[in-house]
Amino acid sequence: MSATAAIPVRERAGAARRDPRALVLIGVTVATILLVGLVDHGFMSLQNLRFMVLNCVVLSLLALGQTLVIATRGIDLSVAPVLGLSAMVTGLMAQTGGLPLLGAFGLALAIGVILGTLNGLLVAKLAIPPIITTLGTYSLYSGLIFLYSDGTQVTSVPAAYAALGNGTVLGIVPIPVLVLGAVLAAIWFVIGHSRFGRAILAIGNNQAASYNAGIPVTATQVGAYAVCGVLAALAGLMFVSYTGSATVTTGTGDHMELQSIAVALIGGTAISGGRGPVIGSVLGALFLSVVLTALVFVHVPPIWYSAGEGLMILIAVTAGSRRTA
Amino acid sequence: MPESVAHEAGSGVYRARGITKNYGPVAVLRGIDVTLEPGCVHTMMGENGAGKSTLFKVMAGLVRPNGGTLAIDGDAVSFAAPHEAHARGIYLVPQEPALMPELTVAETMFVGQLPTTTGLVKRIDWRAMRSRARAALDTLSLDIDVGALSRSLSIAQQQQIECAKALLRGCRVILFDEPTSPLTTHEVEHLFATMRHLRDEGYTLAFISHRMDEVLEISDHVSVLRDGMLVDSVARPQFDRTRLLSRMVGREMRTIPRRSWSCATDQPALVVKGLAHGSRFADVGFTLHRGEILGLAGLVGAGRTEIAETIFGLRARDSGSVTLAGEDISTLQTHAIIERGLVYAPEDRARHGAVLPMTIAQNVTSGLISRVRSRLGLMDHADEDRIGAETVRRYRVRCAGTDQTLRELSGGNQQKVVFGKWMGLSPSVAILDEPTRGVDVGAKDEIYALIEELAREGMAILVISSEMEELVRLCDRILSVYEGRIVAELSGEAITPERVGRSYLGHAEAQDGVEVAA
């Protein structure tokens, strides 16, 4: 067969090997840092670099979950209110009830599993299109934040939380970055080397064929939404620990659901499903964090931030989809 | 999930008894008995809609039968899903292979049963997966890189991957659903080489094809299906081309009434010359006259719809010209073509023709909004109703009123409304693609009468149909399309079901008796 001869032989199946996007993203991010750094040396300072990395942790956690869901050919708009609810519940209970940090992790886990599983069941069992399902649960979960907070908000968190959000190990590595690193490693293993993760990709590639091949389609879909919920809830706990505050618009106010989708796409996740390079999603979040900070450093007026962010997302996603088309 | 679902290979005799399948009131399979033997290629032949694909889907667990039994090596089996059939050693290579475009060839082959390492953390054993995939491809002498992305494969390669998947799953019975239609001659030879290899290894193979030459070449046994029934089953020594063909067409004893009159003129209305597009169709040329009903006969996938869509400006063409009433329209856009008097009623009514949630009046006027009277830029709904009512009367649409939605009407009445919509534009040429699809038998006659009436009024009509009876009954002249080319032209007395059937089933038949168009 002459056609096969043209296909280059590859020794191993690795996302980065096949998709140069991760390298391109790293290149563009570094170039942005160097360029803006030339204009203002403060941009390249260790302190600012550390800030930009810390700043992308919460969004990265959301984007990792979003990546799994989009890889099944779904979408989860409800990650922002899940983040908000988790931040509000754990933050308020810590602030007023003295909830220990370990308890907060358990609580966030429970919130994430329950809300994520509900999304997954609606999508997989009732066959409601994911965008409609999660548009509905977006409002539902947002409403829960209002009901639970009842007019109050989180203004401070106990020291243990603050340490989780702002502490470092050995004075160098920020704890949130360690948390993100651990989660990234876990998700990378799941999507790259577990049957569950490969089933997610198979369903996103071809759902009917996956069913025919005996993949448990429903369970896999529910699982993807549940993991996404857990990561969003964890992001909420990290947020409230980092900032020491949570209001009824935490998450939703910044449209973090849209940001999480955007950075996943920038990172190389296919909106049509079947492809989810998780490292790309984190690199996408880092890229967005750098760009947003750069806007401040080059003295773009604040009223332009939102438009500038949108423009960067459009450029990045368009450039990416061209290359893989 | 087991590491490998390979069953202890039995001999691989797969027996189906009394298989029936209905879709609603439509019986697709009416009691099929068939036995597939190991070391044998068993071919199913039959016209479009004879039930071949459905039979294979039942046998492979994709479709549940309404009645009948399946037995593999004497054990009764029934399947809720295809992977259950795989576990019993039965694999269907679908017409459109189930591709996982973003995954590697190796992973696509193992989908649903990826090998994992043993130990505390079970992770995918990529190394084992690749080497086993490589081994399966080597068995079939396939030179395909297991690390390449699936989306880089040609259709022929995708089919070969499906064969390899069957081997990986330890399947002994492999069903091929019309695999050759998208393949080139060279690729067909390669596929046949693979099939022969498997047959000689004692696999049980079944195959669907329309192409007589292919069938005679590869088969050890041929069964003919017609209208959901098995009408013939012969072993290789008894193969007889003429007998198989007449069994497929099956109407050699029946005569279809042809109308005695014709109002075809010799004034050209639509002239198509040398129309070609890529591998879909080539060198298509014909002249359609005023008052003439011209039929395009052929198998599904022969390229007839593509030809019509190209004439109508919906598809790009590589070369050729289309002339409507003396004017070259081949470079015009569809809306300009409609304005010049050519309309096309596509086969998929629900998708392209009728708007089901809208009323009869709205549907009728949707093609001619500019002709509805308006006041101060607002549509006059009374005029819309008037036009709707006219259509209902003229085309004898059975309904409670013009404000009924199309969804509430039967298929036949929906089709009449769609006709009314197009004919409201008073076209000079109409292309009707499967005009009676989904229309019940009684309403068909009414639609035929309508088409004949339009021809009498001088309209030139091109009918694309997969129903022999429809073509024989309606057409003044018939062109047979085979793999994108017009291979025969029949007119007058020559239009008999048998000759039409032979003409579009392949070149080979064109030689014995049917004229080949110049």
* Equal CATH topology for B14-96+170-249 and B268-511: yes
Residue with more model confidence, B499 or A45? A45
**What is the DSSP track for B47-101?**
-TTSSHHHHHHHHTTSS--SEEEEEETTEEE--SSHHHHHHTTEEEE-SS----T
Q: Which residue has the tokens 């429903």?
A: A218
- Provide, as residue numbers in chain B, all residues whose Cβ is less than 8 Å from the Cβ of A1: 142-144, 156-157, 190
CA-angle at A299, arms to A296 and A304, nearest 5°: 75
Q: For A246-275, what is the mean pLDDT? A: 90
- Arithmetic mean of pLDDT, B109-120: 89
Asked whether the beta carbons of residue A212 and residue B142 sit closer than 8 angstroms, the reply is no
**Is residue B232 very low, low, confident or very high in pLDDT (cuts 50, 70, 90)?**
confident
Percent of chain B with pLDDT over 70: 90
Type and span of the H or E element at B204: strand B204-208
The residue behind tokens 């009954």 is B473
DSSP element (H, E) containing B199: helix B185-200
Residues B431-452 have a mean pLDDT of 82
Dihedral (CA of A213, A219, A222, A228) sign: negative
Residues from chain A contacting residue B60 (CB–CB below 8 Å)? none
Question: Helix count (H) and strand count (E) of chain A?
Answer: 16, 2
Instruction: Assess whether pLDDT exceeds 50 at residue B101.
Output: yes
CA distance A219 to chain B (A): 13
- What CATH number has the domain spanning B268-511? 3.40.50.300
Model-level ipTM above the cut of 0.90: no
The domain locations on chain B are 14-96+170-249, 100-152, 268-511
At residue A254, the pLDDT reads 86
Residue B468 pLDDT:
80
Looking at the complex, report in whole angstroms how far the Cα of residue B123 sits from the nearest Cα belonging to chain A. 5
- CB of B1 closer than 8 Å to CB of A214: yes
- The pair of structure tokens assigned to B168 is 């990986």
Q: A148 at the B interface (CB within 8 A)? A: no
The percent of residues in chain B predicted with pLDDT above 90, rounded, is 38
Contact A149, A252 (CB under 8 A): no
Q: Determine contact: B148 vs chain A, CB below 8 A.
A: yes
Closest residue, chain B, to A205 (C-alpha): B100
pLDDT band at B389 (very low <50, low <70, confident <90, very high): confident
- Give whole-number Cα distances, B237 to B199, B206, B207, B216, in Å: 18, 18, 18, 11
Greater confidence (B487 vs B212) lies with B487
**Sole residue written with tokens 């009445």:** B413
Which range has highest mean pLDDT (A102-116, B9-23, B251-265)? A102-116
Top CATH class of B14-96+170-249 equals: alpha beta
Band the pLDDT of B403: cuts 50, 70, 90.
Answer: confident
Determine the pLDDT at residue A217: 95
pTM across the whole model? 0.75
Mean pLDDT of B186-213: 88
* DSSP-assigned letter for residue B351: I
Q: How many residues does chain B have?
A: 518
A1/B103 touch (CB, cutoff 8 Å), yes or no = no
pLDDT score for B139: 87
Tell me if A13 and B147 make a contact (CB, 8 A cut-off). yes
Residue B133 at interface with chain A, using a CB cutoff of 8 Å: no
- Mean pLDDT of the region B318-339: 90
Among B103, B109, B131, B155, the strongest candidate for a mutation testing the A interface, having the largest count of A CBs within 10 A, is: B103
CA distance B103 to chain A (A): 8
Chain B: closest CA distance from residue A214 (Å): 5
Report the top-level CATH class of A40-324. mainly alpha
Best A2, A73, A189, A193 member to test B by mutation, with max B CBs in 10 Å, is A193
pLDDT digits (tens, 9 = 90+) for A49-90: 989 998 899 999 999 999 999 999 999 999 999 999 999 999
**Cβ atoms < 10 Å from Cβ of B351:** 8
Of B84, B100, B156, the CB nearest to A206: B100
Q: Out of A1, A12, A213, name the one closest to residue B83 (CB).
A: A213
Lowest mean pLDDT among A7-16, A49-58, A86-95, A247-256: A7-16
Task: Determine which of A17-31, A79-93, A285-299, B470-484 has the lowest per-residue pLDDT on average.
Answer: A17-31
Q: Kindly tell me if the per-residue pLDDT of B7 is higher than 70.
A: no
User: With bands split at pLDDT 50, 70 and 90, how would you rate the model's confidence at B515?
Assistant: very low
Q: What is the pLDDT of residue B370?
A: 65
Scanning A248-277 for CB atoms below 8 A from B yields: 270, 274-275
pLDDT tens digits for B147-165?
Answer: 999 888 888 888 889 999 9
- Residue partners of B196: CB distance under 8 A and separation at least 6: B218
Least confident stretch, A22-31, B17-26, B81-90, B497-506:
B497-506
pLDDT band of B2, cuts 50, 70, 90: very low
CB contacts of A72 in chain B (<8 Å) are none
User: Which of chain B's residues have a Cβ under 8 Å away from the Cβ of A212?
Assistant: 62, 81-83, 98
- Which residue of A lies nearest to B61 if distances are taken between CA atoms? A212
Closest B-chain CA to A272 = B102
Q: Which among B1, B126, B142 is the nearest to A13, CB-wise? A: B126
More confident residue, B383 or A130: A130
Looking at the partner chain, which of A10, A192, A210 has a beta carbon nearest the beta carbon of B147? A10
- Does A194 contact B102 at a Cβ distance shorter than 8 Å? no
- CB-based contacts of A93-99 (< 8 A; 24+ apart in sequence): A94/A154, A94/A157, A94/A158, A94/A161, A94/A240, A95/A154, A95/A155, A95/A156, A95/A157, A95/A158, A98/A158
**What three-state secondary structure class fits B510?**
helix
Question: How far is it, in rounded angstroms, from Cα B111 to Cα A213?
Answer: 6
List the single residue in A195, A205, A215 with the smallest CB-CB distance to B101.
Answer: A205
Q: Look at residue A91 and tell me whether its pLDDT is greater than 70.
A: yes
B236 CA: distance to closest CA in chain A (Å)? 31
Set of chain A residues whose Cβ sits within 8 Å of the Cβ of B62: 212
Mean pLDDT of chain B: 84
Residues A237-250 have pLDDT tens digits of 999 999 999 999 99
Q: How confident is the model at residue A321 (pLDDT cuts 50, 70, 90)?
A: low
> Quick check: A17 contacting B, CB < 8 Å?
no
DSSP letter assigned to residue B404: S
What pLDDT, on the 0 to 100 scale, is given for residue B98? Answer: 73
B123 at interface of A, judged by CB pairs closer than 8 A: yes
Q: Any CB–CB contact under 8 A between B27 and chain A?
A: no
pLDDT of the residue at B253: 44
User: What does the pLDDT look like over B253-301, one tens digit per residue?
Assistant: 456 677 878 888 989 999 999 999 888 899 999 999 999 999 999 877 7
